[in-house]
Chain A
């Protein structure tokens, strides 16, 4: 066992897959020297510049070339350096990559992975380099969406993404890059975590906390805090938004009767709303309180430390939400007389 960081885990996963399958090629800006986040350190030395390809600052060309190469039989892994930059190549991602298998009647296969740094986490990258954009992708059928929360999951989920025959977007939370975990590096076995299986981070029976990527850690810390008050939260790491392990969420909520869903993106249209509606529609009978979302504020990400902290979801926000679902009487949660007839 050795200590592996989330950052190193990216290269571990890609090295594992590149060694296994020569069709795997990487393309992106500044990746030849290991990438600006040093997630690809050592790959050029090991696999050569032909398979670790530096590109111009041309996100449309990067995403489009990845798509074309996939149609012609390669298994490209493209880097979009900051997830905010998806906006510059959204046509390729949302109109071409996501749709072409379907609109050609299944004539092409698109085993494309697009990965890169995402999210805020209080690092001060500002409005155009901090956004969590998993919710953008979730609006578009045809994209699988992965967001690992730990180093070992980064290895396993990224490897599964490379092996998948469909387009997969992998969001690496930049505030997790320094996270460490014991991991059996180079033990001779391939580490693969299949897509679409949520992870039970900790079991509990009083409330279900649902997180993704960075928010999984927030949920864990909130759970530890309320545990001291005698409230035992179950924490789920969704791992993927598509394919979504909805059953795992529903199973948990049916036991706890309460759900708090924690997303980093702005709440005005976040993925947690989709989870919340699934819970409300399919586990309504088991609920003792309405599902509650904890989301980012509906403003661009500011830079100053205090401002950034104020708009991101926090452990405190989650604890507050848990208290609300434990005692749903307060007015903001439900219409009195409908969900809780005892409220005047």
Chain B
């Protein structure tokens, strides 16, 4: 276990740690930009960002091979980007421009990048856990050595599909790693008010014969390491795992929700544990110059600002493709 170990003062490990910081910052700036664009009326339909939760998506992605699969929820922008989905196509989808990653048909809640192993964002709570089982089943039957990671929120642990899926994964020994992003709230309600156990995912794991694994979801290296162990065990045929990563959603449930039910002192406490600050401290401890870190911050801000400005300047998509992509023949005809 390498959780909490120091990063060496030089060499590839330090460079990798700096890269991870760059990814965290990029995802953060991207999500902040989405939030701002939503508030300005540029995003059509609801949008959900995971500001404060980025270390989970980034840390898990660092534990995966390119051929591994992941699948997530309507709060899925970070998860797609962390696997390598092109930010330009993701933002075009959110802003309804040509070149959107789902051709304008999915929008914020259904960001998908099969090319980069991200098999979709699903907006019905719990629905994608059984789907993750199917992805893993296909790989198990072909002895493909691939693993599927399935992200979900704490609220998901109270819907039936969660229990059906975890049971099936355990019974079949599927190579799937379930990652609960426990941000403390099922939409607007504290998860503790609606769950009889303190750890909504980990405390249910035992019912399905799985070892409860918990991790600090705001520590990107801890997430990477814990996930890496579970992923490699699954790859080796040791079956599924249940990880509960504790984190916090720094904004409301959706971009339309000011999150007034989140007590200010609670938000303040978690702000001190911001995943960017946590990892920045690791870099500084390793001797990475503060100026380099600051440069990453400011360069990324400029990069995301320019990306958004370019896309906003483009014309919105037309309605020409509304009747494509329905069936495998590319069209939408249901009768002759």
* A interface residues (Cβ-Cβ under 8 A, vs B): 25, 50-51, 53, 55-56, 58, 60-74, 76, 91-92, 95-96, 100-109, 111, 141-142, 164-166, 196, 242-247, 278
Contacts and interface: CB of A to CB of B under 8 A. Distances in A.
B26 interface: no
Contacts of A165: 328
A50 B110 CA distance: 32
Nearest to A66: B134
Interface in B302-336: 324-328, 330, 332-336
A95 B334 CA distance: 18
A67 B134 contact: yes
B130 A60 contact: yes
B167 A72 contact: no
B101 A105 contact: yes
Contact of A246 (B325, B330, B336): B336
B131 A104 contact: no
19 contacts: A51-B141, A62-B130, A64-B127, A64-B128, A64-B129, A65-B133, A65-B134, A68-B71, A68-B132, A72-B137, A92-B131, A96-B127, A103-B105, A103-B106, A105-B112, A106-B330, A107-B114, A111-B328, A141-B332
B124 interface: yes
Contact of A104 (B102, B129, B135): B102
Nearest to A164: B328
A62 B168 CA distance: 9
Contacts of B101: 105
Interface string B109-145: 0101111000110101001111111111111010000
Given A71-B135, A96-B122, A101-B325, A91 B161 contact: yes
Nearest to A274: B335
Nearest to A98: B326
B100 interface: yes
A153 B288 CA distance: 71
Given A50-B141, A91-B124, A65 B168 contact: yes
B279 interface: no
Nearest to A198: B336
Interface in B128-166: 128-139, 141, 160-161, 164-165
B131 A96 contact: yes
Given A56-B168, A70-B134, A64 B102 contact: no
Contact of B112 (A58, A107, A141, A246): A107
Contact of B160 (A51, A60, A70, A71): A60
Contacts of A102: 105, 325-326
A243 B114 contact: no
A109 B112 CA distance: 13
A64 B120 contact: no
B105 to A, nearest CB: 5
Nearest to A64: B130
Interface of B: 69, 71, 100-106, 110, 112-115, 119-120, 122, 124, 127-139, 141, 160-161, 164-165, 167-168, 171-172, 324-328, 330, 332-336
B334 A104 contact: no
Given A96-B122, A165-B328, A166-B327, A74 B168 contact: no
Contacts of A92: 127, 130-131, 161
A141 B161 CA distance: 23
Contacts of A66: 134
A68 B168 contact: no
B328 A109 contact: yes
A141 B135 CA distance: 24
A53 B334 CA distance: 32
B69 A243 contact: no
Given A102-B325, A109-B328, A166-B328, 20 more contacts: A53-B172, A56-B167, A56-B171, A60-B161, A61-B133, A61-B165, A61-B167, A64-B129, A64-B134, A67-B134, A68-B71, A68-B134, A68-B135, A71-B119, A104-B110, A105-B106, A107-B102, A108-B114, A243-B334, A246-B335
A71 B131 contact: yes
B168 A58 contact: yes
Contacts of B325: 101-102, 105-106
